[in-house]
């Protein structure tokens, strides 16, 4: 499946802003800063950490326990 098939054509909806690849890179950078991945992207460990993060299921919201 291509990215266009997966995400559709944003231009049909008059989407504006930065290109998708730049938005994805910016969001990954933010996530990496917030979660503490410290290894540089050009190392095996850094690349693996980022790919693992992208391939992980979303975190479940905290459960509400009675006080």
**How far is Cα 49 from Cα 46, in angstroms, rounded to an integer?**
5
Helix (H) or strand (E) holding 49: helix 44-55
* Residues in Cβ contact with 39 at an 8 Å cutoff, skipping those fewer than 6 apart: 45, 46, 49
pLDDT in the model for residue 41: 83
pLDDT in the model for residue 27: 81
Q: For every one of its 67 residues, what pLDDT tens digit does the chain have, with 9 covering 90 and above?
A: 565 665 566 666 666 777 777 887 888 788 777 877 788 889 999 889 888 877 877 766 656 666 5
Question: Which tokens in the block code for residue 49?
Answer: 């950490």
């Amino acid at each position: 499946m291509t990215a266009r098939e997966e995400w559709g054509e944003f231009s049909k909806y008059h989407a504006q802003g930065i290109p998708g690849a730049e938005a994805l890179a910016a969001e990954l950078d933010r996530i990496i800063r917030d979660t503490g991945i410290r290894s540089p992207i050009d190392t095996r460990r850094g690349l693996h950490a980022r790919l693992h993060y992208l391939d992980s299921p979303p975190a479940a919201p905290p459960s509400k326990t009675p006080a």
